[in-house]
Amino acid sequence: MGRSMPIDVGSNGSPEADEAMPESQRPNKGRTRSAVLGLRTSHGLAWAEIVSDADTTQIMRLFRERKSERSEIQWPGAQRYVGVVYGGRLYRLARSGTGSAGARFGHIESFWSYLQRRLKAKGGIRRHHLGLYLAEYAWRYNHRRLSPAEQLRETLKLVRRAQVEGMRLTRRSPEQ
């Protein structure tokens, strides 16, 4: 399966293989690690966000240390997400205490499939822009059943609301 962003992989294809080598001997020195994404759902809507670096380190360690493919992955920030995308794969998270995920089966998988297709079509996205792309694609996914005219109307409502609330709609230039 292709990845939407580059990832460090060792000679045997696993991220942890390179960690034992000195950095100067690593074959893919200088390549960036792929972002870990957290997927959420609520009332039939889906969102994706970049997981913080602290949580990413914890998630990577938990994935390496788990005993089997069926092992539950839990960390303090897991309650926010229904699923986590790590290394280009979607992992559903069990809700603590209930033993089952909060989203109906297929919804989060459908959203990840849509998101993955859109991200791959870009051919790579800089990490500091990724959040904007995730927000755009989540909005498009959540409004996919509207006609193009209705989507335009909804977009204009968002722009008007942002102007009323005084939000900056353009990126600030460095000299400002």
Full domain range(s) for residue 67: 15-164
Q: What is the reported pLDDT for 95?
A: 61
Does residue 174 fall inside a structural domain?
Answer: no
pLDDT digits (tens, 9 = 90+) for 111-158: 999 999 999 998 888 889 999 999 999 999 999 999 999 999 999 999
Task: Give the model confidence (pLDDT) of 97-122 as tens digits.
Answer: 444 445 667 888 999 999 999 999 98
pLDDT at 113: 94
pLDDT at 53 over 70: yes
> What is the number of structural domains in the chain?
1
**Residue that is written with structure tokens 């792929």 in the block:** 34
User: Are 15 and 88 a contacting pair, CB within 8 Å?
Assistant: no
Q: Is 176 domain-assigned?
A: no
Q: What one-character DSSP code corresponds to residue 80?
A: G
Burial class (CB in 10 A: 0-12, 13-18, 19+), 87: middle
Is 56 part of any domain? yes
pTM of this structure: 0.67
Comparing CA positions, the residue from 114, 153, 152, 157 lying closest to residue 134 is 114
